[in-house]
Amino acid sequence: MQTSATEYEERLTAPRSWWFVAVLVGVSGGLIMLPFGALALLGGLVAGTAVAAVVISSYGSVRIRVVADSLVAGEARIPLSALGDSHVMDAEECAAWRTHKADTRAFMLLRSYIRTGLRVEVTDPEDPTPYLYLSTRNPERLAAALGGDAGR
């Protein structure tokens, strides 16, 4: 019997530059409120920055985990027995699979700021999903954790 220890875990955090954008959103909120006085300017600055930070944080809180014989990607939980071969993709190949090669039935956990990814075939005959596309910074490690063939 296997333990429920996590074999792989990755959080798809937003890039640092997005946090600078959150501050800019706060500054623009403050400038919008400037005609109403200094207190309103401060409120707009704080509220705008806080709202932008919450949005960025929630977008960057998606996790990919391999735990207890399952792949957990975002809110999807797929047993490893339902997965086939995995294919490590570089930036160019990821761009193709995100656009013109994409299948509308596929499960895609996309983060445009992550250039590499992993495509995992779904072998469950009752599941109409042909493959999973997972944006990941460590596609080789994820493929190894899935136990699949990490072909290129």
Identify whether 140 is part of a domain.
yes
Over the stretch 14-47, which tens digit does the pLDDT of each residue have? 999 999 999 999 999 999 999 999 999 999 999 9
- Indicate the pLDDT class of residue 66, thresholds 50, 70 and 90: very high
Task: Count Cβ atoms below 10 Å from residue 33 Cβ, excluding itself.
Answer: 19
Identify whether 37 is part of a domain.
no
The answer on pLDDT for 139 being more than 80 is yes
Residue 6 pLDDT? 66
pTM: 0.79
Find the domain containing 140 and state its range. 80-151
Identify whether 142 is part of a domain.
yes
Q: What is the mean pLDDT of the chain?
A: 91
Over the stretch 67-122, which tens digit does the pLDDT of each residue have? 988 999 999 999 999 999 999 999 999 999 999 999 999 999 999 899 999 999 99
- CB distance 132 to 70 below 8 Å: no
Residue 148 pLDDT? 54
Report CA-CA distances (Å) from 41 to 35, 50, 108. 8, 14, 41
How many domains would you assign to the chain? 1
Identify whether 131 is part of a domain.
yes
Buried b (16+ CB within 10 A) or exposed e, 126-146: eeebebbbbbbbebebbbebb
Residue 147 pLDDT? 83
Residue 59 pLDDT? 86
